[in-house]
Amino acid sequence: MCDNTKLLAFELTVDVAVFVYQVTARFPKRSCMDGSLRESHYQISISKRLGFLNNEDSSLTEP
């Protein structure tokens, strides 16, 4: 059986999760929610417009 933790996709997924936790830690608690990748994209857009996410951090979320 394959060890998923050795896959590049696993490493990238963990990187994204860590980034999301770090960035959303400074959000007001009422704005934190979980959901799909599409929802995450919407939340990032909203967070930028509300000023919870600065341009430097938001640029890291772009493909």
- The C-alpha angle with vertex 38 and arms to 14 and 20, in degrees rounded to 5, equals 35
Q: Is the pLDDT of residue 30 over 70?
A: no
Long-range contacts of range 45-49, CB-CB < 8 Å, 24 or more positions apart? 47/23
This prediction's pTM: 0.48
Spatial CB neighbours of 23, under 8 Å, sequence gap ≥ 6: 47, 53, 57
User: Residue 40 and residue 43: Cα distance in Å, rounded?
Assistant: 5
pLDDT at 33: 55
Structure tokens at 42: 């919407």
Q: Is it the case that residue 27 has pLDDT exceeding 80? A: no
25: pLDDT strictly greater than 70: yes
